[in-house]
Amino acid sequence: MSYYPKTRSAAGFTLIEVVVALAILSWVLGGALYLVQQYADERLKLRQGFFATQVSWNRLLERYQDSQGWVPDSDRSSRQTKGIEDQIDQSWRWEMKVESAMGEDLYRYEVKAGPEGSARFSGSLALYLVGKPSS
């Protein structure tokens, strides 16, 4: 026979268990928020790259039309190698570089484009065309 009365053990979590659970939860939530923020940044970069490439494509398409003779000579002489184009309510700056390539009358046209306020270009396209470049 025992002289000590039986006590019921307290139910619940200890302070250490609660602190460890909160630390794990904060680590998981922090990682999730970081991934969401990274996804949003990447999405903005892709969108910006898409529209910069679209601006580059527009400039190269003009030069292709020139090389095929689809544009009157009077319009060809006014072609620029730098400029600003509006796309989706934003201004995009672009620069075209024309270089002689291997072969007779073969030229490489490269257009880089990016947001007007940025020092970097977001998109770039290149095209090879036969014939003397206009301007």
18 pLDDT above the threshold of 90: yes
- Percentage of the chain lying above the pLDDT 70 cut: 90
What is the model's pTM? 0.73
Q: How far apart are CA 76 and CA 69, in angstroms?
A: 10
Which tens digits make up the pLDDT trace of 63-112?
Answer: 999 888 888 877 776 788 999 999 888 999 999 999 998 878 899 999 99
Determine contact, residues 82/96, Cβ cutoff 8 Å: yes
Contact 60, 109 (CB under 8 A): yes
Beta strands 90-100 and 123-130, pairing class: unpaired
CATH 3.30.1300.30 fits 15-130, yes or no: yes
Tell me if 111 sits within 8 A of 65, measured CB to CB. no
Answer for the pair 62, 70: CB distance below 8 angstroms, yes or no. Answer: no
